[in-house]
Amino acid sequence: MQGKYVHLRYGIILAREEQAAVLRQPLVELEQLRLDVFEYTNDAIQAVRKRHPQVVIADYERFGAAGIHGLAELMNEADAPVILFVRDVSEWENEQFGELGVQRVFNAKFKLSELAAEVDKAIKRRRRIGSSDRLPVISV
């Protein structure tokens, strides 16, 4: 019997249950990605502390009042590429996404195939650079 080796990849979705259900299946099938789903930011942060994902997909609205600060905390804890989907956000928030290093921001409507391609790109980026991009630079 000839088998195909599949490297199990792990990611987190931070979204409402209905949103996550729509996103989860195509990503599992197309990207062979194991996904844990969380509705609340604090739960997602606790999870990434225990098991670091290779990608985080998040609905920006789930950060609620914490907004950019909650996103920054999740990104710091996860140390992984973050893909956001957003609805109405200000220009300032868009600038902050760039400064934080968000991998990609999807507005309102997008194709699941585009999301899957972005997830694949994020995971490849994560494998290539690992945590080394977060190491401090020291001059001698």
pLDDT digit string, tens, across residues 125-137: 765 544 444 444 4
pLDDT digit string, tens, across residues 96-119: 999 999 999 998 788 888 998 999
Q: How many CB atoms lie within 10 A of CB 25?
A: 12
Domain ranges of the chain: 9-134
pLDDT digit string, tens, across residues 3-61: 444 456 889 999 999 999 888 888 887 777 889 999 999 999 999 999 889 999 999 99
Class of 9-134 in CATH: alpha beta
User: Any residues with CB less than 8 A from the CB of 76 and at least 6 apart, and which?
Assistant: none
Is pTM, for the whole model, over 0.95?
A: no
Measured CA to CA, the distance from residue 134 to residue 43 in angstroms comes to: 23
pLDDT digit string, tens, across residues 49-95: 998 899 999 999 999 888 999 999 999 999 899 999 998 888 999 99
Measured CA to CA, the distance from residue 59 to residue 86 in angstroms comes to: 6
